[in-house]
Amino acid sequence: MSERRGRRRGRAEAHTAPAARDVNYRQLKNPFPSMEVFSADEIANMHDTALRTLEELGMKVLLPEATEIFRKGGARVEGDMVFIGRDMVEAALKTAPKSIDARAGARHRDLTLELGSLMFQPGAGAPHATDLERGRRPGSARDYIEYTQLNQHFDVLQMLSPSVEPQDVETHLRHYFTTEVQLTHSDKFPFVFSRGTPQVMDCFQMIRDFRGLTDAEFAANPHCYTIINTNSPRTLDIPMAQGLIDFARHGQMSIVTPFTLMGAMAPITVAGAITLSHAEALAAITLVQLVKPGAPICYGTFTSNVDMKSGAPAFGTPTHFQASLAAGQLARLIGLPWRSAAGSASNLNDVQAANENQMGL
C-alpha cells in the first residue's frame, strides 16, 4: 500500500523533471589527475639537457631577422647557428604569460588557455578530405567550408583549426578565402597559417576589422593563433621564424610544436625525443619573448614513434602516450599552457582509428 503510494508520487514528480540537460562544453576544466611517466629528477635532467643542447649544440635559424634578434638578446651566433644561453631561456620563461585570454567572435566562445583548462580541436592541416559518400579527394574550398561548419556545430570543439587544405584556391589568395570562411561560418577562435608576413598582415587586418577593433584593442589580446612547427632536429625555417616574430609583435598567439617522430627526426626514446622537442620549443619561446616580452605563446609537443620496419609514423601507441605524459610534466615545470595531440595512422574510420585516437587522447 505504502509502496504503491510512493510509486505514484514518483511518477508525479517525473512530470516536473527538466526536459533538457544543461551543459557547457565551451569552457572545460580537466578533471583528470595529471599522470607522470618520469620522476621529478628525471624531468629536471631532461630540462637541463635541453638547455645544454641550446647552449652547446645550438639551433639552426634560417631567417636573418631572427638570428639578429637572438644575437641582440645575447646569443652567440655563427652563421645561421644560434647558441642560446640558459639565462636567456630563463628570462623568457619569466615573461611568457601563464594564462592567455583568447578572444573569439562571441564572448561565450572566448577561451582562457592555462594549465588546467581543456580544449579540443579537430584534425588539422590535412591535404585530403574523405567521406563515405564522395570518397577520398584532395581538399577543396567546398571541403574547407563544410569542415568549418562541422567544427562550428560541436561545442566540444572550442577552436577553429588548420582544417583541410583548400587546394583548388590559388595559394596567393587562399588566406583570404580561409579567413573569410572562418569569420562568416563560425564565431570561434580562428587560425592563421604562418606563410610569410604579407599573408599574416592581411589576415590580422581582416580579423581586426571584422571584429570591429582598433589596432590597440586587437593587440591587447590574441584574436587568432598560428601553429609553428620547428623542423626537427634543431632547425627553425624562414616562414616559421617569421610567424613567431609577426604574431609576437601584434600580440597574437603562437603554438609552438616541434613534430618529433621518435627514431626519425628525434631520438628513438621518449626521454630523448621529448628533450629535443623541449629544447626547440624553448628556443621559440625565447625568440617570441625577445621580440615582445609578455607576448602569448603556448608550449607544445607532438611526439610519437615511427614503425621501425617501414619508417611510417604511428599514433595512439604506448610511446605516444608516454611522450604526452612527459611533455605535460615539462609544461608544468615551466608553467605554460600547452598543446598535445591525439590522432591515428589508420586509412579509414575503423576500429584501429578509434582505438588509436582514444589512446592518444
C-beta closer to a second copy: residue 177 or 321:
321
C-beta closer to a second copy: residue 94 or 128:
128
Quote the CA–CA distance of 165 and 140 in Å, as a whole number.
7
Q: Residue 324: helix, strand or coil by DSSP?
A: helix
Answer yes or no: are the C-beta atoms of 167 and 129 closer than 8 Å. Answer: no
* From 262, 327, 334, 341, residue interacting with a second copy (rule: CB under 8 A): 262
* From 51, 59, 241, 327, residue interacting with a second copy (rule: CB under 8 A): 59
Quote the CA–CA distance of 168 and 27 in Å, as a whole number.
35
> Which residues in 289-318 contact a second copy (CB under 8 A)?
305, 307-308, 310, 312-314, 316-318
Binding status of residue 325 toward a second copy by CB under 8 A? yes
Tell me the window of 112-120, 198-206, 220-228, 347-355 that interacts with a second copy (CB under 8 A).
347-355
Shortest distance (Å) from residue 280 CB to a second copy:
10
C-beta closer to a second copy: residue 42 or 110:
42
Cβ contacts of 175-182, under 8 Å, gap ≥ 24: 175/199, 175/202, 175/203, 176/202, 176/206, 177/141, 177/144, 178/144, 179/203, 179/206, 179/207, 180/206, 181/144, 181/145, 181/148, 182/148
Shortest distance (Å) from residue 222 CB to a second copy:
30
Tell me the window of 1-9, 49-57, 110-118, 335-343 that interacts with a second copy (CB under 8 A).
49-57
Shortest distance (Å) from residue 224 CB to a second copy:
29
C-alpha dihedral (50, 56, 58, 64), degrees to nearest 10: 140
> Which residues in 97-156 contact a second copy (CB under 8 A)?
136
Answer yes or no: are the C-beta atoms of 296 and 97 closer than 8 Å. Answer: yes
> Which residues in 11-30 contact a second copy (CB under 8 A)?
none
SS3 string, 256-303, reads ECCEEEECCCECCCHHHHHHHHHHHHHHHHHHHHHHCCCCCEEEECEE
Instruction: Give the phi and the psi of residue 66 in degrees, each rounded to 5.
Output: -75, -40
C-beta closer to a second copy: residue 165 or 251:
165
Shortest distance (Å) from residue 231 CB to a second copy:
6
Binding status of residue 40 toward a second copy by CB under 8 A? no
Answer yes or no: are the C-beta atoms of 285 and 256 closer than 8 Å. Answer: yes
Shortest distance (Å) from residue 4 CB to a second copy:
17
Answer yes or no: are the C-beta atoms of 120 and 157 closer than 8 Å. Answer: yes
Quote the CA–CA distance of 116 and 247 in Å, as a whole number.
24
Answer yes or no: are the C-beta atoms of 29 and 116 closer than 8 Å. Answer: yes
Binding status of residue 201 toward a second copy by CB under 8 A? no
C-beta closer to a second copy: residue 238 or 268:
268
C-beta closer to a second copy: residue 239 or 313:
313
Residue that is written with C-alpha cell 580541436 in the block: 121
> Which residues in 205-234 contact a second copy (CB under 8 A)?
231, 233-234
Quote the CA–CA distance of 361 and 358 in Å, as a whole number.
5
| Residues linked to residue 136 through DSSP beta bridges, in sequence order | 130
Answer yes or no: are the C-beta atoms of 84 and 56 closer than 8 Å. Answer: no
* From 271, 281, 287, 297, residue interacting with a second copy (rule: CB under 8 A): 271
C-beta closer to a second copy: residue 207 or 274:
274
Question: Left, alpha or beta for 236 (phi > 0: left; psi -120 to 50: alpha)?
Answer: beta
> Which residues in 63-92 contact a second copy (CB under 8 A)?
81
* From 263, 300, 328, 343, residue interacting with a second copy (rule: CB under 8 A): 263
Q: Which residues bind a second copy (CB under 8 A)?
A: 32, 37-39, 42-43, 45-46, 49, 52-53, 57, 59-60, 81, 136, 231, 233-235, 262-272, 275-276, 305, 307-308, 310, 312-314, 316-319, 321-322, 325-326, 345-356, 358-359
